[in-house]
Structure 1
Amino acid sequence: MKTIVKSSPEKESKIFEAKVLKLLHIEQWHFNYSIDQYKGYAILLRNWIKDCHKQGQTTFDVANTIHKSTLLLDNIREGQALCFNPIVVMNTNILPKINVNTVSK
Structure 2
Amino acid sequence: MTHLSFDDYMAKRGLTEDDLAPYEAELTERIRVYELKEARKACELTQRQLAERMGVSQKRVCELERGDLDRTQVATLKRYVEGLGGILHITAALPDRAPVVLV
The TM-score with structure 1 as length reference comes to: 0.30
Bigger Rg, which one: 1
Structure with the bigger RCO (C-alpha within 8 Å, sep 6+) is: 1
- The structure with more helix, counted as a fraction of residues: 2
The TM-score with structure 2 as length reference comes to: 0.31
